[in-house]
Amino acid sequence: MAVSTDLKEYHNLVGGELRGATGGALTDSIDPSTGKVWARVPKSSKEDAVAAIEAAQHAFPAWKALSAGERAACLRDAAEVIASNGGELAALETQDNGWVIRETTYGLIPVLQQVWLDAAAKATEANRGQTVPMSPTTLGYTLREPYGVVVGITPWNAPLFTFAIKAAYALAAGNTVVIKPSEQAAVSSLHLGKLLKDVFPEGVLNVICGPGSQIGDTLVEHPAVSKVSLTGSGGTASSIAKATAGKPKPLILELGGKSANILFEDANIEKAVEAISTHSIFTGNSGQLCVGSSRLLVHRSIIDQVADGVKNYLANPDLKKFGPTMDPSTTTGPIANKSQFETIKSYIQLGLDEGAELVYGGRSGGAELISDRSDLADGYWIEPTLLKTESNELRVCQEEIFGPVAVMIPFDTEEEAIALANGTEFGLAAGVWTTDLSRAHRMISALDSGNVWVNTYARVGTDLPFGGVKSSGFGTDSIEDYSREKACVIEL
Ligand code: NAP
């Protein structure tokens, strides 16, 4: 690909210094709305990965020795830096992975601030233990201590959000951190590293960009790394589990899903249709959402009404608008990279080959979808796509597509809805739409899922844990998961 010479280059943050990769190796970063190279990021080597870990190792004792209040002050400063640079961070995230500017500006940036401030507020409780009277002459108690060096590996669909939930809580609990963003969309994370360079003592927070297949093993195996938190795919989770099997270490795995949004016949259909069409699967980053409701389980008596409602919403250019991702009126962005673009297209074709009915969408490519914008012709655009089938066994109902593709499946009874919802290897999230309170409680209890939302969808917040079950992972990026307990006994 022809590369212009005036592209902005971004750097790693290692030991308080902004550095390129050893030998100056670089990777092109592509703007997915245009398919054109727009920036360059370091292609770090194993040696660079070791340098980042050693910097974090070196910084750990002094960071751990600070009071929780002193660590909290740094975290509050980080929130302040993010707020005052919010416009720039939102724009970098948008250009790098295609998530539309209206959502990165008004949705993402306030959430980032909230996470860093929440971590600051919880810093004092992070290392609080319990006293356990064991006998009149024996005092037992627990201490909570940081692990040491934590490596946080983040995906391309939500780089700044996953950076926040890993780094902020790990730092609050007294760990030092190495963040490795996906090289597919690393610019916003590298820029945030630069902005936070002087907020934390050197080496406390490090950000390093390089291909996971080349530096991933080094980052997770290194003996100085005490905990690894991955947000990513099941395949990468398996690689990390294998790489650390010889000397096992605690992992947090936030993985994929095939989440069901279940609409009963007594649901508020209008509200459910709006949620499906805006923030459940047909989102501003085109369904590249781990909790995306890629299966819509709908009571047979209302399935046509729901299908028509979603179709009407998606076909309304005032509500669902493709266009330049930096234009605040654009509601629907492209797919974040070419490989994912090809994957989603092939899944749509597979669904049709498997016999699913195309209810809406299915088209792709900027030239087809945004014909009045030649600059977007080579972007990775996919039309929101709704399929319908009777069988939950199709591959499009079982495998994570990670894009704007939902499959509708009818059901007749509550028991059938539960069996369908639980009938995949995943267990990340589920939505239930009903006005029957007893049924809502029965469903919450019956669903094998880390998150269940009733009469709403994708509602996450700093006061609730977030994680999956089954193949969707284990552990949570919360302050409790970034410290370990020590049991202490004193004979008086
Ligand atoms: P991915 O391919 O697993 O990549 C995730 C991260 O792992 C990237 O930084 C990647 O680096 C790195 N990586 C790749 N191979 C590695 C290895 N052998 N060792 C260590 N690290 C390695 O996932 P993705 O395609 O970026 O993200 C999409 C997936 O993330 C979907 O499955 C989605 O559901 C999941 N996700 C889950 C949540 C959640 O909270 N549950 C949230 C968001 C996304 P490079 O890309 O640089 O190679």
Per-residue pLDDT reduced to its tens digit, 59-71: 999 999 999 999 9
Length of the chain: 492
Residue 1 clears pLDDT 80, i.e. is over it: no
Residues 228 and 278 in one domain: no
Per the annotation, the verdict on 254 as an active-site residue is yes
Question: Is 308 within the bounds of a domain?
Answer: yes
CB 277 within 8 A of CB 244: no
CATH number, residue 413: 3.40.309.10
Task: Examine the domain organization and report whether 394 and 416 are in the same domain.
Answer: yes
Same domain flag for 228 and 371: no
**Residue 2 falls inside a structural domain:** no
Distance (angstroms) between ligand 1 centre and the Cα of 249 equals: 19
Rounded CA Rg of the chain: 23
Q: Are residues 296 and 379 in the same domain?
A: yes
Q: Of 405, 414, 447, 402, give the one whose Cα is nearest residue 429.
A: 447
**Nearest alpha carbon, ligand 1 atom 20:** 216
> Tell me: the pLDDT tens digits for 256-295?
999 999 999 999 999 999 999 999 999 999 999 999 999 9
**Domain assignment of residue 1, yes or no:** no
154 CA to middle of ligand 1, Å?
A: 6
Query: Both 239 and 265 in a single domain?
Result: no
193 lies in the same domain as 306 = no
| Cα–Cα distance list, 177 to 56, 64, 105, 108 (Å) | 6, 12, 26, 22
Contact residues for 282 (Cβ-Cβ < 8 A; gap 6+) = 276, 310, 314, 320, 332, 384, 404, 406
Whole-number average pLDDT of the chain: 97
Residues 272, 200 share a domain: no
Q: How do residues 134-191 score in pLDDT, each as one tens digit?
A: 999 999 999 999 999 999 999 999 999 999 999 999 999 999 999 999 999 999 999 9
215 & 330 share domain: no
In a domain, 3, yes or no: no
Angstrom distance (rounded) from CA 469 to CA 425: 9
CATH number, position 239: 3.40.605.10
Q: Which residues' Cβ are closer than 6 Å to ligand 1? A: 153-158, 180-184, 211-213, 216, 220, 231-233, 236, 239-240, 254-257, 290, 400, 402, 428, 468, 473
pLDDT digits (tens, 9 = 90+) for 207-244: 999 999 999 999 999 999 999 999 999 999 999 999 99
- Cβ neighbour number for residue 444 with a 10 Å cutoff: 14
Percent of the chain with pLDDT over 70: 99
pLDDT for residue 323 = 97
pLDDT, position 158 = 97
Q: How many structural domains does the chain have?
A: 2
Bridge-based pairing of strands 451-454 and 205-207 is unpaired
5 pLDDT more than 60: no
Does any domain span residue 290?
Answer: yes
Q: Which domain holds residue 175?
A: 8-255+473-489
pTM of the model: 0.97
Indicate whether 274 and 342 sit together in one domain: yes
Q: Residue 214: which H helix or E strand, with range? A: helix 212-221
> Quick one: 244 and 383 in the same domain?
no
Residue at 224 is within a domain: yes
Indicate if 357 and 413 belong to the same structural domain.
Answer: yes
Residue 446: other Cβ atoms inside 10 A: 18
Asked if residues 205 and 13 have their Cβ atoms less than 8 Å apart, the reply is: yes
Q: Work out whether the CA dihedral 75, 240, 424, 274 comes out positive or negative.
A: positive
> What is the tens place of the pLDDT at every residue in 7-54?
899 999 999 999 999 999 999 999 999 999 999 999 999 999 999 999
Name the DSSP class of 319.
T
The residue written with tokens 């008086």 in the block is: 492
Inside any domain, residue 379? yes
Atom nearest to 473 CA in ligand 1: 41
pLDDT of residue 125: 85
Q: Please tell me the predicted confidence (pLDDT) of residue 196.
A: 98
Cα(262) to centroid(ligand 1), Å: 28
Å from CA of 295 to ligand 1 middle: 22
Token pair of 381, please?
């655009």
H or E element that contains 208? none
How far, in Å, CA of 354 to CA of 346, rounded? 12
Catalytic residue among 54, 93, 103, 254: 254
Across 147-285, the runs of DSSP E, i.e. the strands, are 149-153, 176-180, 205-207, 225-231, 251-254, 260-263
Whether residues 200 and 277 share a domain: the answer is no
Q: Which atom of ligand 1 is nearest to the CA of 209?
A: 47
Evaluate whether residue 467 is within a structural domain: no
Task: Find the helix packing angle between 109-126 and 86-97, rounded to 10°.
Answer: 110
